[in-house]
Amino acid sequence: MNAVRPKTVLCVDDEKIGLRVRKLLLESHGFVVLTASDGQQGLALFDQHQVDLVVLDYYMPGLNGEQVAAELRRRAADVPIIFLSAYFSLPPQALELASAFITKGDPPEVLIEKIEQLI
């Protein structure tokens, strides 16, 4: 009998409190959650684990979300990427790399629903 592997979500955000809250929220919905506080760490975790979806902040020091998303697309073109940002608009070229865009002001259910739609 094959057990279904829980889906793994990688969350990348330089805002540590939001990252911790998101981890708890997603784990309470049955996801395995990996967290990274910057783009480089996020890419390293992506390479080390089987990731089913990435929740990615846009504005971060070092590599911004667009740079991370472009590199993720190069490594695994089909991985769903959700931009999660405090800003209400992002550059069009960044949005083209993402499967979805949600603002941090949206209710948590919006993120859960979008993840479930994409994986």
Q: In the chain, how many H helices and how many E strands? A: 5, 5
Q: Where are the alpha helices (DSSP H) in the chain?
A: 16-28, 39-48, 65-75, 92-95, 108-118
Q: Rounded distance, CA 29 to CA 89, Å?
A: 28
Q: Which two tokens stand for residue 36?
A: 């990274």
Report pLDDT digits (tens) over 19-42. 999 999 999 999 999 999 999 999
pTM exceeds 0.75, yes or no: yes
Q: What does the pLDDT look like over 49-100, one tens digit per residue?
A: 999 999 999 999 999 999 999 999 999 999 999 999 988 888 889 989 999 9
